[in-house]
Amino acid sequence: MSAPEILVHPNSGLLAAGVAARLITRLVDAQARRGTASVVLTGGGAGLAALAAVADSPARDAVDWGRLDVWWGDERFLPSGHPERNETGAREALLDRVPVDPARVHVMRGPDGPDGDDADAAAARYAAELAAAAQGAPSAVPAFDVLMLGVGPDAHIASLFPGQPTLREEKLTAVGVHGSPKPPPTRISLTVPAIRAAEEVWVIASGSSKAEAVRLGLADADVMEAPVAAARGLRSTLYLLDRDAASALPPGSSPVSSG
């Protein structure tokens, strides 16, 4: 597992622009190497702002959008098109604005999907889709090039909340989440092992309400108390922050500032 690197941007707008530039570069590099690329998206303000910045960037045309696999780290268990779905936000910010291949946009299904109200079955369906794309990898998930995560003030990532048993899941790669403290209560989430199988994990945070969660994540806090501490990539782990989110870094951190 990689130790986190910390990159601090002057404000939330420059954070979004910085994440967008970095994402475009990573996807272009992956496609140059392998022909395809994969990304795992997050819901939440900072992650969606970064996607909108990708769509607004002239450099976006350097990405071959038809050869990109798009996955989600978590989804709110709501019907397709619902404004609160992470999918809806990502489509509005980016996916409707670039020529992605619909067959490569891997959504977590909601109650209008083939499993109806059964979020656990919808999660199992997603795990099966991940396994099919994993080409026999022992992790049963593809080697994601970039997995983006927002973080909550309570230090949750994806839909893995402090104290919930889903944090201890070791075998399944996607789970149904019930009783989420952040609405809506029912969700689907990747698990810790699925997140940690990504090549690069990016924790993206903006604003002072995230400063304590960022501190806990970097201080290797107990994962049951601060799920963000589990967010580590195989090759690299980046904390992409604005100044306010970086206002309580643990002693001894070596942030790199931009701008």
Q: How far is the CB of 255 from ligand 6PG (least distance, A)?
A: 20
Task: Establish if 150 lies at the interface with ligand 6PG (CB under 6 A).
Answer: yes
Task: Establish if 176 lies at the interface with ligand 6PG (CB under 6 A).
Answer: no
Stretch that binds ligand 6PG, among 56-64, 96-104, 133-141, 155-163 (CB under 6 A): 155-163
Which of 38/206 has CB closer to ligand 6PG? Answer: 206
Stretch that binds ligand 6PG, among 113-121, 152-160, 226-234, 241-249 (CB under 6 A): 152-160
Stretch that binds ligand 6PG, among 23-31, 110-118, 146-154, 245-253 (CB under 6 A): 146-154
Q: Are 7 and 240 in contact (CB under 8 A)?
A: yes
Task: Establish if 46 lies at the interface with ligand 6PG (CB under 6 A).
Answer: yes
Task: Establish if 166 lies at the interface with ligand 6PG (CB under 6 A).
Answer: no
- Structure tokens, 176: 């149904």
Candidates 44, 113, 142, 217: give the one binding ligand 6PG (CB under 6 A).
44
Task: Establish if 45 lies at the interface with ligand 6PG (CB under 6 A).
Answer: yes
Task: Establish if 178 lies at the interface with ligand 6PG (CB under 6 A).
Answer: no
Stretch that binds ligand 6PG, among 57-65, 118-126, 148-156, 236-244 (CB under 6 A): 148-156
Stretch that binds ligand 6PG, among 11-19, 31-39, 131-139, 149-157 (CB under 6 A): 149-157
Task: Establish if 12 lies at the interface with ligand 6PG (CB under 6 A).
Answer: no
Q: Computed from CA positions of residues 236, 24, 72, 229, in that sequence, does the dihedral angle turn out positive or negative?
A: positive
SS (H, E, C) the chain: CCCEEEEEECCHHHHHHHHHHHHHHHHHHHHHHHCCEEEEECCCHHHHHHHHHHHHCHHHHHCCHHHEEEEECEEECCCCCCCCCHHHHHHHHCHHHCCCCHHHECCCCCCCCCCCCCHHHHHHHHHHHHHHHCCCCCCCCCCCCEEEECCCCCCCECCECCCCHHHHCCCCCEEEECCCCCCCCCEEEECHHHHCCCCEEEEEECCHHHHHHHHHHHCCCCCCCCHHHHCCCCCEEEEEEECCCCCCCCCCCCCEECC
Q: Which of 174, 54, 58, 191 is nearest to 106 (CA)?
A: 174
Q: Are 109 and 72 in contact (CB under 8 A)?
A: no
Q: How far is the CB of 176 from ligand 6PG (least distance, A)?
A: 14
Which of 30/245 has CB closer to ligand 6PG? Answer: 245
Q: Could you give the string, one character per residue 82-121, with x where binding to ligand 6PG holds by CB under 6 A and - elsewhere?
A: ----x-----------------------------------
Binding site for ligand 6PG (CB under 6 A): 42-47, 74, 76, 86, 150-152, 156-159, 182
